A and B are shown apart, each in its own frame.
Chain A
Amino acid sequence: MGCVKRALIMVSVAMSLLVSDVKPAKVSMLFAATGTPSTTSFVGATFSPNVAPTVRAIRQGANVELTWTEVSLGQVTSNYLVWRVDGSRWTQICLGADVPVLVSATVTCRDRRVAQGGVPTFRYAVEPVHLVSGAVTWSLAPGVPQPVA
């Protein structure tokens, strides 16, 4: 009688151990696959240099010749807004036929007939910009206005 009881206990212990060890397998029942190609990347352009150049203004007869070093924007050349500064009044110049011209990394333009009475007291500044259909999108802050030499 004792032997049967002991055997029964052993069998029940073995069964309980077996059951406790059975866990749900972490295997998906569906066939699935994933592919991730390289990431596409985008980088915005930057002005180089990232500070507006200083204008050199020189009186030549009745005109003032303006020169400054080129600024690039990414792989393209920047456009420029050129300003004549008279006190607090900023007037855009170098328009139409007088638009700035780039020659060997130097940009030039001319402010006509402003020096007829001698060296003007105006100052000049340039603002590198990116234009889309005539509208300014990105720009650098204009440089510090410079006097005529």
Chain B
Amino acid sequence: MKNGLSKKRLMTLAGVLAMGAVGLGVTSALFSDTQTSIANTFEAGSVEVGLGSTSRVCSVTDILPGDSSANYGSGSQSLLPCIYDVTYTGTSSAWLAVDIAVTGGPPALYTGSDSGLQLKLDADGSTSFVTGTSYTTVSGSASNISSGATISNLLVSATPATQNSSVIFNLNYLLPTLAPNSLQGGAASVTLTFHAVQSANQPIGSCVAGRQCNSITWS
């Protein structure tokens, strides 16, 4: 009996649907007009980081105590600084950041102390990322960069980069006269990684240029 009722209900439902379908095919008797708009296109923005032609990636050999690059501010200031001309080529505005990793040895010329290799990294001669052997944390305090560590997400600017804007990163260096005899023949490598992420829908929050910024989702 129940089965029979269900079948009846199904039949009724099918009938109603069929009538509706037929109704759709009936021509309207009202005057009408149709306009087709130009097709909407949705193109994804892009984010790219490239090195410009004025870049000078250094390979400094035979560095002696007292030697430094031109703009270090002390020492001989007789050597060439390393320059990274970073051009942002993406179409969407983006936050830029730099990561720095210092490795070396044996023996390690960069010791993370006053007597080893000292570094100064800045952007456009103003925003400073690394001074001596330290960087600035999110809270604004100086923190030591130890050999072998990578310091990530140092914010380049509190203003998003736009297409084809470029930033000159200067890496200056000094081997202090305090460098002990044990550093003779020592080696160090500095690897900079530049990265960008869309700024749209990513508020900068309390991040400050020159400091580490971890509140932005970088990838």
Closest to B190 in A: A40
Closest to A47 in B: B184
Pick the contact of A44 from B44, B86, B90, B175 — CB < 8 Å?
A: B175
Q: In the assembly, what is the distance between CA of A33 and CA of B90, in Å?
A: 9
- The prevalent SS among residues of A at the interface is strand
Q: Separation in Å of the B217 CB from the closest CB of chain A?
A: 6
A88 within 8 A of B: no
Q: In the assembly, what is the distance between CA of A35 and CA of B117, in Å?
A: 25
B193 within 8 A of A: yes
A22 contact set on B, CB distance < 8 A: none
Within 8-48 of A, Cβ neighbours of B (below 8 Å) are at 28, 30-47
Q: Separation in Å of the B94 CB from the closest CB of chain A?
A: 8
A44 contact set on B, CB distance < 8 A: 62-64, 109, 175, 179, 183-187
Within 25-49 of B, Cβ neighbours of A (below 8 Å) are at 44-49
A41 touches B58 (CB 8 A): yes
B193 touches A35 (CB 8 A): yes
Q: In the assembly, what is the distance between CA of A42 and CA of B110, in Å?
A: 9
Q: Separation in Å of the A29 CB from the closest CB of chain B?
A: 9
B61 within 8 A of A: yes
Report the contact-size class of chain B (Cβ under 8 Å from the partner): 35 or more
Q: Separation in Å of the A125 CB from the closest CB of chain B?
A: 18
Q: Separation in Å of the B205 CB from the closest CB of chain A?
A: 15
Closest to B183 in A: A44
Q: In the assembly, what is the distance between CA of A40 and CA of B185, in Å?
A: 16
A45 contact set on B, CB distance < 8 A: 61-64, 184-185
Pick the contact of B194 from A35, A46, A75, A76 — CB < 8 Å?
A: A35
Per-position binary interface string of chain A over residues 58-80, scored 1 when its CB falls under 8 Å from any chain B CB and 0 otherwise: 00000000000000011110000
Q: In the complex, which of the residues A45, A46, A73, A133 has the most CB atoms of chain B within 10 Å of its own CB atom?
A: A45
Count residues of A near B (Cβ-Cβ below 8 Å). 31
Within 64-111 of A, Cβ neighbours of B (below 8 Å) are at 73-76
A40 touches B82 (CB 8 A): yes
A40-B171 contact given A33-B90, A35-B194, A135-B177, CB 8 Å threshold: yes
Within 41-88 of B, Cβ neighbours of A (below 8 Å) are at 44-51, 55, 57-66, 82, 84, 86
A41-B219 contact given A31-B47, A74-B64, A135-B177, CB 8 Å threshold: no
Q: In the assembly, what is the distance between CA of A13 and CA of B9, in Å?
A: 26
Closest to A44 in B: B186
Pick the contact of A32 from B3, B64, B187, B197 — CB < 8 Å?
A: B197
B188 within 8 A of A: yes
Q: Separation in Å of the A22 CB from the closest CB of chain B?
A: 24
A28 contact set on B, CB distance < 8 A: 219
- The 6 nearest A-B residue pairs measured at CB: A74-B62, A137-B65, A35-B49, A132-B66, A46-B185, A45-B62
Chain A positions near chain B (C-beta within 8 angstroms): 1, 28, 30-47, 73-76, 130, 132-133, 135, 137-139
Would you mind naming 17 contact pairs between A and B with Cβ atoms under 8 Å apart?
A: A1-B3, A31-B198, A34-B195, A35-B48, A35-B194, A37-B51, A37-B84, A38-B57, A41-B189, A42-B60, A42-B117, A43-B61, A46-B185, A73-B62, A74-B64, A76-B64, A137-B64
